[in-house]
Structure 1
Amino acid sequence: MPRKTLTENADYACPIVGTCLTVSELRRICRKCGDAVADDASDYEAHVFLVGQAKVAGGGPAKYLQRFLDKKYRRDLRAFLRVEDPATLRRMWRERADAGDVPGPFWALMSHPTAPEELLRDIYGEVHMLSHRVGAANRADLARLSQLEERLAETAAALEESKTVLRQAVSVWKGRCREAMEALSAERVKRQAAERERISLRQAIESSAVAAVRRDRDILRDQLADLAERLEATETEAGRQALALERMHAAWREAKEALADRDSEVEALEATLFAALGDAAAAHAAHAEHHRDEGDDGHPAVLPGGAPCPCREKGLPAESCGEACACRDALAAGGLAGKRVLYVGGRCSLVSHYKVLAERFGCKLLHHDGGREQSAHRLWELLGTADAVVCPVDCVSHEACSLVKQACKGCLKPLILARSSGLSSLARSLAELGQTVQ
């Protein structure tokens, strides 16, 4: 739907021209229309002429004025043309008018194709009253300007008095400056005399101290020679130490490579130990049952499951069974059967292997990460339910280690401080705990 032209808004041409154009723009557009408006005509005469031309349908001035307003307020036109709802148009007008932006929204609404007549009348009335308020404000500004001019005259008189006082003060200051310059000249003369006396005294001192200076020079020359010799010896020693340091660095690299190889071997041995423990787990778990069925001679007759005791099959004497019994290793771990062992710290990636290894020793493993994510309150809870504690000192926080030592000492619980967090170290610790608990 096409927008309304300026001719279609002939009833509102006066506020449109008066509101949407500045005085300079009004004059420039009148000059575009030729000599119809004289250069010395008043602003009101130019306004009346342009309002009359805006009402002429198809006239050149009306078309030019239409294009000029569309170009000047193209952003406002695009914003208001997207909206067709009267309530939204009224809200947009209110927001822009309250912000002080009247000309652009006023032209956009007056040329809007679907804006209702009631909305246009309300906006026209608001703009009309706004012109009255602006006129009243201008009259008040003129009265205020008169008052300000009077105050300006008073201020100028006061300023002139201040200038007079300032001139007098400058005169006094100049007199004091002359006195200060005279005093400065006298002081400069005294200083020059003192400088001449100082130079004469310095020459006397220099002539009397030449011998002492030469002696000091000879002493310093001897010291310099001695320091040069010591510096040469120090540089030689530094070269020897640098060579030794390079050798030590090479040895360190070799030791580091050897340590890496040894770590790989240790990991392989731990894996082998973990697999080998599967064969010994049955004997460890069968300790209690094995020695509950001892015969009259004090030695077990059969293993759990009906297997005969290897000692009996070998025909070993009763007094040697304690050393040669096939379940000798199980005696060390038999005391852990049904026990709860708390493992504080260690590597999180091996927790599942820790628990499987503990099950093969016949006990249940409880784990606390040593304070990485789990709290100290959780550690106290686990310490209360555990029968023994294992703590690897290479992979645990100092706070958790101190807490474990204090708790085990107070509760009289067995504590093993393992040197490492590997599986082999845990196996040795569980074997040691088995002998302790037993």
Structure 2
Amino acid sequence: MYHCSVIGTCATLVELRQIARKYRIECDGPVTDYMLHCTFVSSAQEQSAPIRHLNKLLDKKYSRQIRLFARADSEEALKTLWRKAVQDGNIAGAYWSLITHPLCSEALFQPVFGEVHMLSHLSGASIRTDLREMATLRKNLNEKTDENAQYVCRLQERIADLEGEIRSLQEEVLQARVLKADLSAANARVANLESHSRVTQLEAVSENLAENLFTTSERMRTLEQKFQQSELQRIAADEERCRLQIVVKEKDGELSILEDVLADWLRSEPGNPCSGQGQRGCPFKDLNGQRILYVGGRSGQYPSLRALVEKNNGELMCHDGGLEESRLHLNAVLSRADVVFCPLNCVSHDAYYRVKRYCDRFDKKLVLIPHASLSSFSKGLHDAFPVSSP
């Protein structure tokens, strides 16, 4: 009864697929992650080659933890090692080492199994919290996208202005260098004329040229500093623009929570089928009062699913697959249904196989959808009941 927990916790889907390919394991239907998991769980009690391979793989993968647990000579020592592993987050290796230890009794394993089971629930709750936070982030993203677009526009205008200033400064630097070259040539001519009678006059000219040279040198130094500052500003602006482009690209790729919008719409709008229902171009299709059975999923989604079916002129029956409702009641609702829907990621192994065997036996239409979500259910309705051409 613990095979599902052990395989799901200790082995990755990549490892299971590698073993399945090596031993050419075939699943009943498409080889989805869920079907692959179910196949290994259902055959775990058999001493088959794939299961032996999986055992060897886990022994090798968690050899360090197995050696650590092997030093324990009592159940209390095993409990201490388990608590330390939970604190460190090393659940998978410790779980496998504990369940394969010869001193692991039923009394010791039961609370450990419950703890691992509840950790999987906490993980699911965390994902749902992340989805709600993502809706808020999406709203903030739209606001920030507009702000970023305006900022990028202003930044591009500033970059264009800086590039114009840089070109002007470059021209001034070139002119200053020409003036400096002219002054150097003039100083050379003055040196050649020092021995002549015009020395005094030339000295005055030289002093004037020296002052001009000093002024020009200071101007050139100032221009070079401005040029360096402008270049640094341009580089900083380019880096900021690249950063903003990356932020905008990442934000544009975030998940849009369309299901929450559709669920709110279904709850707020009463069902009034349009005159063109069941025809191409109409969002609703006429189910002609057919009974649809939804097995598994999350009970909190049932009202939204029922509203969607009723808007399409159908009737929805829901069964949780045996969590709270009787498994015997499942056969009763199956006999009343025209079409059966089953979300693969949120239904027990037992309920799935019971539904599949019943539909195969009585030739009843079974629609398998990948997720327990409103969008997957809506797509399943669309595929199961295609809209006829007008």
Query: TM-score normalised to the size of structure 2?
Result: 0.47
Quick one: higher RCO (CA 8 Å, sep 6+), 1 or 2? Answer: 2
More helix by share: 1
Query: TM-score normalised to the size of structure 1?
Result: 0.42
